[in-house]
Amino acid sequence: MSAAMTEEEVLEVLKRADAVLTGHFQLTSGRHSDTYVQCARVLEDPALTTRLAAALAERVSASGIDLVAAPAVGGIVIGFAVAQALGVRFIFSEREQGVMRFRRGFSVPPGARVLIVEDVVTTGGSVAEVIALVREAGGVPVAVASMIDRGGPKAFDLPLYPLLRLEVDSWEPDACALCSASVPLYSPGSRRL
């Protein structure tokens, strides 16, 4: 039985969970936007998380994945669920004094084919850091899977398999009209945790 989900189904799931927010947001990339997707609201539901993960796993199953790696915090829940759907091991990276690292004794076996999983990808800066960690450890990053691709250029060169492409404008802070209008800024991302 296929686990496939259409983009319309994914968007409806996000809306039902009140995960699509409007306002003035600082994204993890540092850019500003008037739209933010709080995937954690969707990932509160284990059955729905399992369904989304199965849909992502189906998109990459032909890639011969040995290991799933994700950046903390946003990628942990969906990354674990995708690894479970693929039947492979899961690890995650964390920031230690601002530098992304594999901690907790996590390792990447030499030559392991690694899928990087993230909840939302805007520029892909965190994903690029995980890709570099995998390569440094002797693994072979093969693809990136995400719940949402916010569009725009990416900081990595691997194929990206999102469940939903959601073209949402974002700006550098110095070009942000919301800042100029003194609209309060909210930073719901996890980079500074």
Output 190 or 16, whichever has higher pLDDT: 16
Q: What do you get for the CA distance between the two ends of the chain, in Å? A: 39
pLDDT tier for residue 168 given thresholds of 50, 70 and 90: confident
Residue 45 or 3, more confident: 45
Can you give the pLDDT at residue 98?
A: 86
Please calculate the CA angle 71-75-79 and round it to the nearest 5 degrees. 110
22-31, 43-52, 54-63, 159-168: least confidently modelled range: 22-31
- Mean pLDDT over 79-104 rounds to 95
The per-residue pLDDT for 104 is 93
pLDDT given for residue 29 in this prediction? 75
Task: Supply the DSSP symbol for 155.
Answer: S
Six token digits for residue 78: 């969906």
- Residues 60 and 144 sit within 8 Å (Cβ to Cβ): no
Cβ-contact 137, 58 below 8 angstroms: no
Cβ contact 107:137 at 8 Å: yes
Supply the pLDDT for residue 61: 85
Each residue's pLDDT tens digit, 119-131: 999 889 999 999 9
CA distance 167 to 148: 10
Confidence band, pLDDT 50/70/90 cuts, at residue 77 = very high
Mean pLDDT of 52-72: 93
pLDDT at 193 over 70: no
pTM: 0.88
Mean pLDDT for the chain overall: 92
- Running DSSP on this structure, what letter comes out for residue 73? T
Sorted by where each starts, the structural domains of the chain and their CATH numbers stand as 7-180 (3.40.50.2020)
DSSP state for residue 94 in the 8-state scheme? E
pLDDT score, position 189: 67
